[in-house]
Amino acid sequence: MEMVLDYLSAALLLLGSFFVVVGGIGVLRMPDVFTRMHAAGLTDTMGSFFILTGLMLQTGFDGVTLRLVMILGFLWFTSPVATHALAKAALHGKVEPVVHEDEGGD
Amino acid sequence: MTQRPVARVAGLCLLWYAMWLLMSGHYTNLLLTLGAVSVVGVALLVTRMLLPDREGAPFHIVPGLLFYLPWLVVEVFKSNLAVARVILSPRLPIRPRVVDFQGHQKTDLGRFIYANSITLTPGTITVRLDAEGFRIHALTREALDGTEEGEMDRRVCRLEGAS
Protein backbone atom coordinates (compact mmCIF):
# COMPACT_ATOMS: atom_id res chain seq x y z
CA MET A 1 0.00 0.00 0.00
CA GLU A 2 2.78 2.35 1.03
CA MET A 3 4.65 1.47 -2.16
CA VAL A 4 1.63 2.04 -4.39
CA LEU A 5 1.08 5.45 -2.85
CA ASP A 6 4.74 6.34 -3.31
CA TYR A 7 4.70 5.43 -7.01
CA LEU A 8 1.40 7.23 -7.57
CA SER A 9 2.74 10.29 -5.78
CA ALA A 10 5.95 10.20 -7.84
CA ALA A 11 3.92 9.97 -11.05
CA LEU A 12 1.80 12.97 -10.05
CA LEU A 13 4.88 15.00 -9.09
CA LEU A 14 6.46 14.19 -12.47
CA LEU A 15 3.27 15.13 -14.31
CA GLY A 16 3.09 18.42 -12.40
CA SER A 17 6.75 19.14 -13.17
CA PHE A 18 6.04 18.43 -16.85
CA PHE A 19 3.37 21.15 -16.93
CA VAL A 20 5.62 23.59 -15.04
CA VAL A 21 8.50 23.00 -17.50
CA VAL A 22 6.22 23.27 -20.55
CA GLY A 23 4.77 26.48 -19.11
CA GLY A 24 8.32 27.81 -18.75
CA ILE A 25 9.19 26.86 -22.34
CA GLY A 26 5.99 28.56 -23.45
CA VAL A 27 6.88 31.79 -21.66
CA LEU A 28 10.18 31.82 -23.58
CA ARG A 29 8.65 30.98 -26.97
CA MET A 30 5.57 33.22 -27.01
CA PRO A 31 5.80 36.57 -28.82
CA ASP A 32 4.10 39.05 -26.44
CA VAL A 33 2.92 39.59 -22.90
CA PHE A 34 -0.62 38.29 -23.47
CA THR A 35 0.36 35.04 -25.16
CA ARG A 36 2.99 34.51 -22.46
CA MET A 37 0.28 34.70 -19.84
CA HIS A 38 -1.47 31.74 -21.47
CA ALA A 39 1.73 29.73 -21.18
CA ALA A 40 2.24 30.77 -17.57
CA GLY A 41 -1.30 29.55 -16.92
CA LEU A 42 -0.10 25.97 -17.30
CA THR A 43 2.25 26.39 -14.37
CA ASP A 44 -0.28 27.68 -11.89
CA THR A 45 -3.20 25.43 -12.88
CA MET A 46 -2.20 21.86 -13.68
CA GLY A 47 1.39 22.34 -12.47
CA SER A 48 0.22 23.27 -8.98
CA PHE A 49 -2.67 20.79 -9.11
CA PHE A 50 -0.54 17.70 -9.80
CA ILE A 51 2.37 18.70 -7.57
CA LEU A 52 0.08 19.43 -4.61
CA THR A 53 -1.98 16.24 -5.09
CA GLY A 54 1.30 14.33 -5.35
CA LEU A 55 2.38 15.85 -2.04
CA MET A 56 -0.99 15.01 -0.47
CA LEU A 57 -0.28 11.33 -1.04
CA GLN A 58 2.95 11.73 0.96
CA THR A 59 1.07 12.91 4.06
CA GLY A 60 -0.66 10.65 6.54
CA PHE A 61 -4.05 12.08 5.52
CA ASP A 62 -4.17 14.39 8.51
CA GLY A 63 -4.11 18.15 9.08
CA VAL A 64 -1.25 18.53 6.60
CA THR A 65 -3.41 17.09 3.81
CA LEU A 66 -6.13 19.57 4.64
CA ARG A 67 -3.64 22.43 4.52
CA LEU A 68 -2.43 21.31 1.09
CA VAL A 69 -6.03 21.19 -0.16
CA MET A 70 -6.51 24.74 1.09
CA ILE A 71 -3.28 25.93 -0.55
CA LEU A 72 -4.55 24.48 -3.83
CA GLY A 73 -7.89 26.22 -3.36
CA PHE A 74 -6.29 29.58 -2.61
CA LEU A 75 -3.97 29.28 -5.62
CA TRP A 76 -6.84 28.47 -7.98
CA PHE A 77 -8.95 31.32 -6.63
CA THR A 78 -6.25 33.98 -6.64
CA SER A 79 -4.17 33.24 -9.75
CA PRO A 80 -6.89 34.18 -12.29
CA VAL A 81 -7.41 37.45 -10.42
CA ALA A 82 -3.68 38.18 -10.66
CA THR A 83 -3.63 37.23 -14.35
CA HIS A 84 -6.60 39.49 -15.03
CA ALA A 85 -4.93 42.38 -13.19
CA LEU A 86 -1.75 41.86 -15.21
CA ALA A 87 -3.64 41.77 -18.54
CA LYS A 88 -5.66 44.84 -17.61
CA ALA A 89 -2.51 46.71 -16.58
CA ALA A 90 -0.84 45.78 -19.89
CA LEU A 91 -3.84 47.09 -21.86
CA HIS A 92 -3.92 50.21 -19.72
CA GLY A 93 -0.22 50.71 -20.46
CA LYS A 94 -1.09 50.71 -24.20
CA VAL A 95 0.49 47.33 -24.96
CA GLU A 96 -1.08 46.23 -28.25
CA PRO A 97 -1.75 42.50 -28.30
CA VAL A 98 -0.18 40.62 -31.21
CA VAL A 99 -3.13 39.47 -33.33
CA HIS A 100 -3.11 36.86 -36.07
CA GLU A 101 -3.22 38.56 -39.54
CA ASP A 102 -6.30 36.76 -40.86
CA GLU A 103 -8.44 37.91 -37.99
CA GLY A 104 -8.29 41.67 -38.58
CA GLY A 105 -8.05 42.37 -34.87
CA ASP A 106 -10.90 43.57 -32.74
CA MET B 1 -33.96 32.25 0.74
CA THR B 2 -33.29 35.64 2.27
CA GLN B 3 -30.84 35.60 5.12
CA ARG B 4 -30.52 38.47 7.51
CA PRO B 5 -27.09 40.09 7.80
CA VAL B 6 -26.77 38.77 11.35
CA ALA B 7 -27.21 35.21 10.12
CA ARG B 8 -24.54 35.76 7.46
CA VAL B 9 -22.04 37.17 9.96
CA ALA B 10 -22.77 34.27 12.30
CA GLY B 11 -22.19 31.84 9.43
CA LEU B 12 -18.88 33.48 8.59
CA CYS B 13 -17.83 33.38 12.27
CA LEU B 14 -18.52 29.65 12.46
CA LEU B 15 -16.51 29.12 9.29
CA TRP B 16 -13.57 31.18 10.55
CA TYR B 17 -13.54 29.45 13.95
CA ALA B 18 -13.64 26.03 12.31
CA MET B 19 -10.68 27.14 10.20
CA TRP B 20 -8.81 28.38 13.27
CA LEU B 21 -9.34 25.04 15.03
CA LEU B 22 -8.22 23.03 12.00
CA MET B 23 -5.21 25.20 11.24
CA SER B 24 -3.87 25.52 14.79
CA GLY B 25 -4.29 21.90 15.86
CA HIS B 26 -3.69 22.91 19.50
CA TYR B 27 -6.72 22.77 21.74
CA THR B 28 -5.55 24.54 24.91
CA ASN B 29 -7.78 27.08 26.61
CA LEU B 30 -5.43 29.93 25.74
CA LEU B 31 -5.48 29.23 22.01
CA LEU B 32 -9.23 28.57 21.92
CA THR B 33 -9.81 31.94 23.59
CA LEU B 34 -7.38 33.73 21.27
CA GLY B 35 -9.23 32.21 18.32
CA ALA B 36 -12.59 33.40 19.58
CA VAL B 37 -11.21 36.91 20.17
CA SER B 38 -9.74 37.00 16.63
CA VAL B 39 -12.99 35.83 15.08
CA VAL B 40 -15.00 38.49 16.89
CA GLY B 41 -12.43 41.12 15.89
CA VAL B 42 -12.60 40.15 12.23
CA ALA B 43 -16.40 40.06 12.37
CA LEU B 44 -16.44 43.62 13.75
CA LEU B 45 -14.08 44.80 11.00
CA VAL B 46 -16.12 43.10 8.28
CA THR B 47 -19.43 44.54 9.46
CA ARG B 48 -17.86 48.00 9.66
CA MET B 49 -16.57 47.73 6.10
CA LEU B 50 -19.75 46.26 4.65
CA LEU B 51 -22.68 44.26 5.83
CA PRO B 52 -22.01 40.83 4.34
CA ASP B 53 -24.62 40.40 1.61
CA ARG B 54 -25.30 37.67 -0.93
CA GLU B 55 -22.07 38.68 -2.63
CA GLY B 56 -19.85 38.99 0.43
CA ALA B 57 -20.96 35.71 2.02
CA PRO B 58 -22.35 33.63 -0.85
CA PHE B 59 -23.40 30.54 1.09
CA HIS B 60 -26.22 29.93 -1.40
CA ILE B 61 -23.87 28.80 -4.17
CA VAL B 62 -21.93 26.26 -2.10
CA PRO B 63 -24.08 23.24 -3.11
CA GLY B 64 -23.82 24.25 -6.76
CA LEU B 65 -20.03 24.64 -6.47
CA LEU B 66 -19.72 20.97 -5.51
CA PHE B 67 -20.89 20.13 -9.02
CA TYR B 68 -19.30 23.07 -10.84
CA LEU B 69 -15.74 22.80 -9.50
CA PRO B 70 -15.06 19.16 -10.57
CA TRP B 71 -16.36 20.00 -14.04
CA LEU B 72 -14.10 23.08 -14.12
CA VAL B 73 -11.04 21.04 -13.10
CA VAL B 74 -11.65 18.66 -16.02
CA GLU B 75 -12.05 21.60 -18.44
CA VAL B 76 -8.85 23.18 -17.14
CA PHE B 77 -7.04 19.87 -17.61
CA LYS B 78 -8.25 19.56 -21.21
CA SER B 79 -7.21 23.08 -22.13
CA ASN B 80 -3.85 22.56 -20.39
CA LEU B 81 -3.18 19.67 -22.75
CA ALA B 82 -4.24 21.77 -25.75
CA VAL B 83 -1.96 24.67 -24.80
CA ALA B 84 0.92 22.30 -23.97
CA ARG B 85 0.58 20.81 -27.46
CA VAL B 86 0.72 24.30 -29.01
CA ILE B 87 3.82 25.23 -26.99
CA LEU B 88 5.67 22.04 -27.84
CA SER B 89 4.91 21.97 -31.58
CA PRO B 90 7.90 23.31 -33.52
CA ARG B 91 5.93 25.83 -35.61
CA LEU B 92 4.22 27.35 -32.54
CA PRO B 93 0.76 27.43 -34.19
CA ILE B 94 -0.77 30.31 -32.25
CA ARG B 95 -3.48 32.54 -33.67
CA PRO B 96 -4.03 35.09 -30.92
CA ARG B 97 -7.15 37.21 -31.11
CA VAL B 98 -9.24 39.53 -28.95
CA VAL B 99 -13.03 39.21 -28.91
CA ASP B 100 -15.92 40.83 -27.08
CA PHE B 101 -18.98 38.94 -26.04
CA GLN B 102 -21.86 38.99 -23.60
CA GLY B 103 -22.42 36.55 -20.79
CA HIS B 104 -25.89 35.74 -19.56
CA GLN B 105 -25.21 36.05 -15.84
CA LYS B 106 -27.58 38.23 -13.87
CA THR B 107 -25.45 38.98 -10.82
CA ASP B 108 -21.99 40.45 -10.30
CA LEU B 109 -21.02 37.30 -8.45
CA GLY B 110 -21.99 35.22 -11.50
CA ARG B 111 -19.97 37.45 -13.81
CA PHE B 112 -17.03 37.27 -11.44
CA ILE B 113 -17.14 33.46 -11.37
CA TYR B 114 -17.46 33.30 -15.16
CA ALA B 115 -14.58 35.73 -15.77
CA ASN B 116 -12.31 33.85 -13.37
CA SER B 117 -13.24 30.48 -14.87
CA ILE B 118 -12.33 31.79 -18.33
CA THR B 119 -8.98 33.07 -17.09
CA LEU B 120 -8.26 29.90 -15.13
CA THR B 121 -8.65 27.87 -18.33
CA PRO B 122 -5.34 28.28 -20.19
CA GLY B 123 -5.79 29.61 -23.72
CA THR B 124 -8.29 32.29 -22.74
CA ILE B 125 -7.86 35.35 -20.49
CA THR B 126 -10.49 37.88 -19.48
CA VAL B 127 -8.74 41.19 -20.10
CA ARG B 128 -11.73 43.44 -19.42
CA LEU B 129 -15.05 43.03 -17.69
CA ASP B 130 -17.63 45.81 -17.47
CA ALA B 131 -21.28 46.58 -18.13
CA GLU B 132 -20.77 46.05 -21.88
CA GLY B 133 -19.59 42.48 -21.38
CA PHE B 134 -16.40 40.46 -21.49
CA ARG B 135 -13.29 41.09 -23.55
CA ILE B 136 -11.32 37.89 -24.01
CA HIS B 137 -7.78 37.33 -25.28
CA ALA B 138 -7.52 33.87 -26.81
CA LEU B 139 -4.39 32.00 -27.85
CA THR B 140 -5.98 29.95 -30.64
CA ARG B 141 -9.30 29.63 -32.41
CA GLU B 142 -9.92 26.30 -30.67
CA ALA B 143 -9.40 27.81 -27.21
CA LEU B 144 -12.03 30.41 -28.04
CA ASP B 145 -14.48 27.88 -29.40
CA GLY B 146 -14.47 26.14 -26.05
CA THR B 147 -15.68 29.36 -24.43
CA GLU B 148 -18.13 30.45 -27.11
CA GLU B 149 -19.92 27.13 -27.18
CA GLY B 150 -21.56 28.51 -24.08
CA GLU B 151 -21.28 25.40 -21.92
CA MET B 152 -19.40 27.31 -19.23
CA ASP B 153 -21.79 30.27 -19.57
CA ARG B 154 -24.79 27.99 -19.01
CA ARG B 155 -23.22 26.24 -16.06
CA VAL B 156 -22.30 29.51 -14.32
CA CYS B 157 -25.85 30.80 -14.90
CA ARG B 158 -27.23 27.66 -13.31
CA LEU B 159 -24.76 28.06 -10.43
CA GLU B 160 -25.76 31.64 -9.63
CA GLY B 161 -29.43 30.85 -10.05
CA ALA B 162 -29.28 27.88 -7.73
CA SER B 163 -30.26 29.74 -4.59
Mark whether B78 and B99 lie in a shared domain: yes
> Residues B113, B153: contact at Cβ < 8 Å?
no
DSSP A32: S
* DSSP code string of A39-86: HHHHIIIIIHHHHHHHHHTTS-SSHHHHHHHHHHHHHHHHHHHHHHHH
Q: Is A61 left (phi over 0), alpha (psi -120 to 50) or beta?
A: left
Question: Are B119 and A77 in contact, with CB atoms under 8 Å apart?
Answer: no
Min Cα distance A57 → chain B (Å) is 19
CB contacts of B135 in chain A (<8 Å) are 106
Evaluate whether residue A104 is within a structural domain.
no
* Residue A71 confidence (pLDDT): 92
Q: B87 to chain A nearest CA, in Å?
A: 5
Same domain membership, residue B34 and residue B66: no
Is residue A88 a contact partner of residue B127, using CB atoms and an 8 Å limit?
A: yes
| Digit-coded pLDDT (tens) for A49-83 | 999 999 999 987 788 898 899 999 999 999 999 99
Does B64 lie in the same domain as B29? no
Q: Which neighbouring-strand residues pair with B98?
A: B137
Q: So what's the pLDDT on residue B46?
A: 85
Q: Are B87 and B127 part of one and the same domain?
A: yes
Structure confidence at residue B4 (pLDDT)? 67
Does A86 reside within a domain?
yes
Parent domain of A74? 2-94
Rounded mean pLDDT of A82-101? 86
Do residues B21 and B74 both lie within one domain? no
Length of chain A: 106
The answer to whether residue B30 is domain-embedded is: yes
Enumerate the residues of chain B whose CB falls inside 8 A of the CB of residue A77.
116
CB contact under 8 A, B116 and A46: no
A50 located within any domain: yes
Q: Which residue has the higher pLDDT, A106 or B92?
A: B92
Same domain, B23 and B94: no
- Residue-wise pLDDT for A19-45, tens only, equals 999 999 999 999 889 999 999 999 999
Say whether both B36 and B115 belong to one domain.
Answer: no
Instruction: Give the mean model confidence (pLDDT) for residues A9-16.
Output: 95
B6 CB near a chain A CB, below 8 Å?
no
When divided into structural domains, chain A yields a total of 1
- Quote the pLDDT of residue B163: 46
Q: How many domains does chain B have?
A: 2
Q: Residues B24, B31: contact at Cβ < 8 Å?
A: yes
| Statement to judge: residues B21 and B86 lie in one domain | no
Same domain, B44 and B124: no
Give, as one character, the DSSP assignment of residue A98. Answer: P
**ipTM at complex level:** 0.85
In a domain, B133, yes or no: yes
Q: Are residues B66 and B99 in the same domain?
A: yes
Domain annotation covers residue B54: no
Whether A103 is covered by a domain: the verdict is no
Q: Which domain holds residue B21?
A: 5-49
**Is B98 at the interface with chain A, CB within 8 A?**
yes
Residues in chain B within 8 Å Cβ distance of A67? 23
pLDDT by 10s per residue, chain B, length 163: 455 678 888 888 999 999 888 888 788 889 899 999 999 999 898 888 877 777 777 888 888 889 999 999 999 999 999 999 999 999 888 889 888 888 888 888 888 899 999 999 888 999 888 878 888 898 888 887 766 667 888 888 888 875 4
- Please name the residue of chain A whose CA is at the shortest distance from the CA of residue B143: A38
For residue B55, being part of any structural domain is answered with no
Task: List Cα–Cα distances, B55 to A26, B1, B111, B112, B113, in angstroms.
Answer: 36, 14, 11, 10, 11
Nearest-angstrom CA–CA distance, A8 and B133 = 43
Q: Does residue A100 carry a pLDDT above 80?
A: no
CA atoms of B113 and B107, how far apart (whole Å): 10
The pLDDT score that the predictor gives to residue B17 is 92
Identify whether B70 is part of a domain: yes
pLDDT band at A106 (very low <50, low <70, confident <90, very high): very low
Co-location of B71 and B131 in the same domain? yes
At residue B161, the pLDDT reads 77
- Are residues B100 and B145 located together in one domain of the fold? yes
Q: Is residue B126 helix, strand or coil? A: strand
Q: Say if A101 falls within a structural domain.
A: no
Helix axes of A33-42 and A63-92: crossing angle, nearest 10 degrees: 170
- Chain A residues within 8 A of B116 when measuring between CB atoms: 77, 80-81, 84
